[in-house]
Amino acid sequence: MGGIRVNVASNPLLPEVFEGLERLVVLAPHPDDESLGCGVLLAKAFAGAGAHVICLTDGSASHPGSTRWTPGRLAAQRRAEMVEALKCLGGSARDLTWLGLPDSRLFQADQTTVAATIEQIIECQSAYHVFVPAAEDHHEDHQATARIASVLRRRRPDWLFYSYPVWSRWDDPEFERNADRYSPVLLAPGRLLDQKRKAILAHRSQRGLVVTDDPAGFTLPPGFIEKFAAEEEIFWRMP
């Protein structure tokens, strides 16, 4: 299976959660963030103590110029893709809670209300390890999710919160130097590589394979998929 590498011996992260021995919850701003940033982590958890994913937005803003793919239709497509991705990782539709908040407008949501909703979901999962997109990510929905998690963290200081980077790994030239200050855990895909790659590829609408009438719509950049499939996943305790 995928190996774990820790930057420093004094790292405060618990290795058990990275080996699937502790139940965990992943907060995903959009459908695909769970596979890109936490695919190996989730595959280990699904094969072990279990996991649950909470998707905050409906993903409907990726192709605003499409006339055939209305926001409602695209949201349904992206939800189906997310369920398929979780199945690739060993989970099922029961392992997903879909909040369906407006894509690209998460900053407008009431943080306290959303945090309270997420708290109830996590309590029902009997989990206390929560994985959150890094505040260093430049996408506004990722930053909004991190802020909501900060509210949740104040409500539940008994839970353990971890950050996982997505966009900052891709577009921040100072990423490695900035991440090193957190003494991150690096989780290699190992024999889970094919599972993670299949999970990422399940998000077909983000690969330009579904919506054909919006040339300016979002498509994952060249090299992005292979980078996130093959490289180690990165986690650190939420500061």
Cα–Cα distance measured from residue 156 to residue 31, given in angstroms and rounded to the nearest whole number: 25
| Lateral strand order in the sheet of 4-6 | 4-6, 185-187, 233-237, 160-164, 129-133, 24-28, 51-57, 96-101
pLDDT value of residue 144: 98
Residue ranges of E strands in 70-224: 96-101, 129-133, 160-164, 185-187
The residues facing 186 across adjacent strands are: 5, 234
| Stated pTM of the model | 0.94
Calculate ∠ Cα 179-180-185, nearest 5°.
Answer: 85
Task: List, in sequence order, every residue forming a beta bridge with 6; answer none if it has no partner.
Answer: 185
- Predicted pLDDT at 239: 85
Residue 196 has phi, psi (to 5 degrees) of -65, -45
Which helix (H) or strand (E) element contains residue 27? strand 24-28
The string of pLDDT tens digits covering residues 50-100 is 999 999 999 999 999 999 999 999 999 999 999 999 999 999 999 999 999
Number of CB atoms found within 10 A of residue 209's CB? 11
pLDDT score recorded for residue 9: 39
DSSP β-ladder status, 129-133 and 24-28? parallel
Segment 118-129, tens digit of pLDDT:
999 999 999 999
Rounded CA gap, 215 and 179, in Å? 35
Residue matched to tokens 């980078």: 227
Contact 152, 112 (CB under 8 A): no
Domains observed in the chain: 4-237 (3.40.50.10320)
Rounded-to-integer distance, Cα 191 and Cα 171, Å: 27
Please give the structure tokens belonging to residue 156.
């539940």
- Of residues 10, 68, 49, 46, the one with CA closest to residue 199: 46
- Residue 4's pLDDT is what? 56
pLDDT per residue of the chain (239 residues) written in tens, 0 to 9? 456 566 543 455 667 899 999 999 999 999 999 999 999 999 999 999 999 999 999 999 999 999 999 999 999 999 999 999 999 999 999 999 999 999 999 999 999 999 999 999 999 999 999 999 999 999 999 999 999 999 999 999 999 999 999 999 999 999 999 999 999 999 999 999 999 999 999 999 999 999 999 999 999 998 999 999 999 999 999 98
